[in-house]
Amino acid sequence: MKSYKSVSTALALSVGLWLTACNSQLDIKPVNSVATSQALSTAADLNALLVGAYDGLGGVNLYGGSFIRDAELLGTTPATGDVLWTGTFVGPQQIYVKRILVNNDQADATWTNAYRTINICNTVLANLSLALAADQPRIEGEAKFIRGSLYFELVRLYGKTWGDGDNNTNPGVPIVTTPTVVLDANSNVPRSSVAAVYTQVLQDLTDAAAKLPVSNGFFATKGAANAQLSRVYLQKADYPNAAKAADAVISSKAYQLVPLDNVFDTRESQNGVNTPETIFAIQTTDQDGINDLNTFYGSSDVGGRGDIELTETFLNQFSPGDGRADLVYTDAVDAIRTVKFINQYGNIQVLRLAEMYLTRAEANFRAGTTLGDTPLNDINLVRARAGAAPLTAAQLTLANILKERRLELAFEGTYIHDLKRTKSNVGTLAYNDPKLIFPIPLREITTNPTLTQNSGYL
């Protein structure tokens, strides 16, 4: 039976569990908890805790799976959508048919794991003095990148989309920026407004972009922070800043487009590695665990369950010669599947360069600017990589730019958020229908009397 914990409990336990993990002594007296000052006392301890934050970020209920999977399930419909859910898990099924209950286990797990990881970041930030002076800016930047990214995903899933009513009064999610180690009345944090959460997100990611290095192995970089900022600004319809953030990634020349067959590293290596196009990815190895998107999108012969199939509706959107239409395969039962997650141990790409070109193109087009390059050139650069015929100036419409975004970024976690920000229907549901927002988990409402439930949920 699943054990349910409130977000406050998750926050407190996350510190205790990760801090005890940092202690390598073998002769340890049995205890139920350990003081932060005992478990976190050296620079090595702090670095280990930061790795724990990355591990949380890459968990199957966050960027390691559900953030990306559920954005697709929430943005499609059984009758006319691009994907077909055939699985038996109740949580994703409810998301797919838009009948999410307040005790939905996926909404609960996503919330809990996100706040647990946020608390790890808060603990890292509260103990920066343990790090070497030269390392402090980078560590601060990494923790703020993770925290800002998580608050961005939480407010998009559990709150109304930006611009749907008053952002200053619409409830978002609780903002917690200090470590939670003791459970008391102060642990019951109310929901901040959507506007307040976005302010926190922008502050974290802006700080991260200023402090992170251009190169940082497979950890967060300046490019990753700017790429995430471009998403935030695009969601807010702040097109000048969206173009500026995307252009910062492109103009850094730290990344480059790779041949289409190599974008997801599914055909060259069993243990997928980042490509030159990858800005930020969740690292997956056969020792750490599997690619959870492979679990749902992959057929059984590549290690998956085959719960999500592609439809002809999706494939029919491609023009002749577009190589992205070939990034599929048919399994033994003739189900159509994407090769993006065919590798059971492949890294999960969260941010990549092609998206930055598409974001810069859309933002420049909407703002009437040409920062970095023209929208037509940016769109055609992505199309050329796919082998698709270039668009003409007359064909460069907002509808075609958005279509290009859908075809390039399909199944990568952007769909429902793009539909909401463009005020597009999901089947017969309006973009702001309460059924397209996750409920605040029932356990949270029960435990924390300051929380209010979303409209449409009892």
How do residues 182-207 score in pLDDT, each as one tens digit? 766 677 999 999 999 999 999 999 99
Residue 108: strand, helix, or coil: helix
How do residues 257-292 score in pLDDT, each as one tens digit? 999 999 986 555 545 578 999 999 999 877 777 899
**Parallel, antiparallel or unpaired: strands 83-85 and 308-310:** antiparallel
- In the numeric block, which tokens belong to residue 283? 């690292």
Residue 20: what pLDDT?
A: 44
Cross-strand bridge partners of residue 329: 337
Question: Does 336 have pLDDT greater than 90?
Answer: yes
Mean predicted confidence (pLDDT) in 404-421: 97
DSSP 404-438: HHHHHHTTSS-HHHHHHHTT--BTTB-TT-GGGSP
Residue 193: what pLDDT?
A: 98
The span from the CA of 445 to the CA of 191, in Å, is 11
Confidence of residue 36 (pLDDT cuts 50, 70, 90): low
Confidence of residue 345 (pLDDT cuts 50, 70, 90): confident
The span from the CA of 131 to the CA of 46, in Å, is 7
How do residues 47-78 score in pLDDT, each as one tens digit? 999 999 999 999 999 999 999 999 999 999 98
Overall residue count recorded for the chain in this entry: 458
The span from the CA of 350 to the CA of 345, in Å, is 15
Residue 152's contacts (CB-CB under 8 Å, 6 or more residues apart) are: 198, 201, 205, 228, 231, 232, 235
Residue 9: what pLDDT?
A: 43
Of 32-36, 151-155, 211-215, 392-396, least confident by mean pLDDT is: 32-36
Share of the chain above pLDDT 90, in %: 83
Query: What region, left, alpha or beta, does residue 35 occupy, with left being phi > 0 and alpha being psi -120 to 50 degrees?
Result: beta
Could you say which DSSP state residue 129 is in? Answer: G
Nearest to 311 by CA among 286, 328, 289, 292: 328
Mean predicted confidence (pLDDT) in 368-386: 98
Nearest to 35 by CA among 19, 50, 23, 56: 19
Question: Does 28 have pLDDT greater than 70?
Answer: no
The residue whose two tokens read 């909401």 is: 420
* Count of Cβ atoms closer than 10 Å to residue 55 Cβ: 18
- In the numeric block, which tokens belong to residue 411? 């199944």
For residue 129, give Cα distances in angstroms to 40, 99, 124, 199, 213: 11, 47, 10, 26, 19
Alpha helices in 188-258 (DSSP H): 194-211, 222-235, 239-251
Mean predicted confidence (pLDDT) in 127-154: 98
Mean predicted confidence (pLDDT) in 77-91: 93
Question: Does 1 have pLDDT greater than 50?
Answer: no
Sheet of strand 308-310, all strands in order from the earlier edge strand to the far edge: 83-85, 308-310, 336-338, 328-330
153 close to 417: Cβ distance less than 8 angstroms: no
For residue 83, give Cα distances in angstroms to 104, 278, 300, 308, 370: 21, 25, 18, 6, 35
Q: For residue 257, with 0-12 CB atoms within 10 Å meaning exposed, 13-18 middle and 19 or more buried, which class applies?
A: middle
Residue 289: what pLDDT?
A: 78
CA angle 387, 293, 358 (to 5 degrees): 35
Give the long-range contacts of residues 365-373, CB within 8 A, separation 24 or more. 365/396, 365/398, 365/401, 366/237, 366/239, 366/398, 367/239, 367/240, 367/243, 369/240, 369/243, 371/240, 371/243, 371/244, 371/247, 372/243, 372/246, 372/247, 372/250, 372/251
